[in-house]
Amino acid sequence: MSGVRLNKYIASSGLCSRRKADELIEQGVVIVNGKIIKELGYLVQPKDKVFVNQKLVRPAKHEYYRFYKPAGYITTCDDEKGRKTIYDLLPENMFGLKPVGRLDKDSTGLLILTNDGELINELTHPSVKVPKVYLVTIEAKVHKHELEQMVNGIEIEQGKIAYADIQVIDMDSRHTEMQITLYQGMNRQIRKMFEYFGYEVKTLKRIQHATITLDGLRRGEFRPIKPIQIRELRNFLNRISNS
């Protein structure tokens, strides 16, 4: 019997990941053609109508963009405090796209924006160690033994051990410039790692997320990600998730 698995159908609408779709199905909030469906392997046919929490869902045409986030904007759709968000810089037709991960207000650089819920989950799920590369500047000389501790792991919060790959680009008595690669998704991880040793991050810019780079973008600019780049990204994720 042909058809699309119900969790994949829901995820392809951009509503959520397949795993979250499974949870919604088990909760009994998914209705197909007027009937509550709790069968995870249920196959959706072309003419079926699927509702989640009483809202009709349809597979969306997936869109993928690179965006160069400037400093001073938060990575969210709206903010109760009235702060500027990245959507103040984007056209209205991109408001349905979600950022893959976040950058705090003072950080800059690459954000992937998409309505592909499944891809968002693959790029952010803690079980898959997806590399994210940053350029970081400290207005002080960071000691070698402190960098070694960051590579090996430090406790930035109770029970949370953070680690990073660090390559020093330039250093003198008054500043340290580094390329830092993270494989975890902790909130403000780099800033907290340096705060552990009493340093304040002066600048932090993400330049790469998995295989997608910031190359060729100016601050505040966005561009579609090419289909061949999405294929390369998916191949990369398959390799590291199976390794």
Structure tokens at 116: 């592909």
Structure tokens at 180: 């830092």
CA angle 195, 213, 140 (to 5 degrees): 25
Which residue out of 79, 88, 104, 215 is catalytically annotated? 104
Closest of 179, 146, 177, 149 to residue 163, by C-alpha: 149
Does the annotation count 78 as an active-site position?
A: no
* Cβ contacts of 191 within 8 Å, gap of 6 or more: 104, 201, 204
Q: In sequence order, what E strands does 27-107 have?
A: 30-32, 35-36, 43-44, 50-52, 55-57, 64-69, 98-99
Residues involved in catalysis:
104
